[in-house]
Structure 1
Amino acid sequence: MDTITFENFIKVDLRIGTIISVDDFPEARNPAYQLTIDFGDLGVKKSSAQITTLYNKEDLLNRQIVAVVNFPNKQIANFMSECLVLGAVNGKDVTLLCPENKIKNGSVIS
C-alpha cells in the first residue's frame, strides 16, 4: 500500500450531499445510476454511481452521502460526472458511506 502525506490528504475535498434525483443509466458499461446531488452552498452536482445491486432508486432519493467534490469532471458514456460518491466495495456490491445523523448539505468531512 502506498502512503501519502497529510498535505496530500487535505487536498481531497470531502462533502456531505443529499441525492435529489436518481435516473437509470442504460448507456453505462456497468449497471449504474445517474445521481443529482445537492451540496448546499457548493450547488448541485451530478455523478454516475455503480450502486444498483444494493439500492433501488426510491431508497436513494433524499439520502445523504459522502462525495469527493474537487476531482475534475469525468465523461462516462454520454454523461458528465462532476463528483465521486464514496462507498465500500465488496465484489460487485457497493455500500454507500453515509452520515449517521442529518447534516447540513455541503458540510466538510475532516
Structure 2
Amino acid sequence: MDNIITFEDFTKVDLRVGTIIEVHDFPEARNPAYQLTIDFGDLGIKKSSAQITTLYKKDDLMQRQVVAVVNFPKKQIAKFMSECLILGAVDGKDVILLNPQQRVKNGSTVA
C-alpha cells in the first residue's frame, strides 16, 4: 500500500454525524447531484453537494443521519458552496451513504 498515513494525519480529519434537513435538486452540477443542508448540532448547519441521485430519492434523505468530513475548506461547485464532504462507499457508479446504526446526537465525532 503506497498511501500510508500516520495516526497523527488521521487525527486531523474531523468526522462528524449530522442530520439532513433540506434536499434540493442541483441541475447546474456537471453530474447528477443534490444540494444538501445538514445539521451538525453545536457545529452548526453546513451545506454539501452529493452525487447520490441513483440510489436515493429526496424524500428518503430527509432526516437521515450521515457521516461527513467537516474540516475541509469550502469548495465552489457551479454556483453552490460546499462546506463538508459526505462519506459513502463507492460501488461502481453508485454511492452508498455511511451512517450510524443507531440515532446519535448531531455533531457526534466518529473515531
Shift of 1:81: 0.1
Superposition TM-score, scaled by structure 1 size = 0.99
Q: Which amino acid aligns with 1:37?
A: I
Superposition TM-score, scaled by structure 2 size = 0.98
Cα deviations across residues 7-36 of structure 1 (Å, max 9, x unaligned)? 000000000000000000000000000000
1:47 aligns with 2:61: no
In the aligned structure 1, how far is the partner of 2:35 from the partner of 2:93?
18
Look up the SS of the partner of 1:46 in the other structure: strand
Q: Which amino acid aligns with 2:62?
A: L
- 5+ long unaligned stretches in structure 1: none
In the aligned structure 1, how far is the partner of 2:92 from the partner of 2:78?
23
1:32 aligns with 2:40: no
Q: Which residue of 2 aligns with 1:59?
A: 60
Shift of 1:72: 0.2
Cα deviations across residues 34-88 of structure 1 (Å, max 9, x unaligned)? 0000000000000000000000000000000000000000000110000000000
Shift of 1:92: 1.3
Q: Which residue of 2 aligns with 1:93?
A: 94
1:16 aligns with 2:17: yes
In the aligned structure 2, how far is the partner of 1:88 from the partner of 1:95?
5
Shift of 1:91: 1.5
Sequence identity of aligned pairs in percent? 76
Q: Which amino acid aligns with 1:98?
A: N
- 5+ long unaligned stretches in structure 2: none
In the aligned structure 1, how far is the partner of 2:28 from the partner of 2:93?
18
Q: Which amino acid aligns with 2:72?
A: F
In the aligned structure 1, how far is the partner of 2:66 from the partner of 2:105?
11
RMSD: 0.5
Q: How many residues align structurally?
A: 110
Displacement over 6 Å in runs of 4+: none
